[in-house]
Amino acid sequence: MLAIRNTFLIFIAAALTSCAQLGIAPAETFAQKLAVGYSSVTAVRQSATTLLTAKKITADDAQNVQAQADNARAGLDIARTVSKTDPKAADAKLTSIRTLLTALSAYLATK
């Protein structure tokens, strides 16, 4: 049951990137997009842990996902810092990190 809930959370995190399709106001500001990014990192981490516990992925696979989540978190932190001096660069960084998180979420959803 926990695995189903976490898989659902992954889909919700991915859906937040396309909220307009759901009739929900999309994350428009940099701060909103950043918050979605941090939430997605948390969802990816929780899902990897749940899948490992359920023996749906290996320990090495879970460790790799966690390392990628660490990278995404660091990238979000960098984007937040850069946003104060170069908003366009920060937005580009944020977009690339959100793409990575969507890919990780999609991968975990297949497990």
| Of 45, 56, 47, 42, residue with least CA distance to 7 | 47
CA distance 110 to 13: 15
pLDDT in tens, 3-49: 555 554 555 555 554 444 445 556 689 999 999 999 999 999 999 99
Contact between 49 and 108 (Cβ < 8 Å): no
pLDDT in tens, 54-109: 999 999 999 999 999 999 999 999 999 999 999 999 999 999 999 999 999 999 99
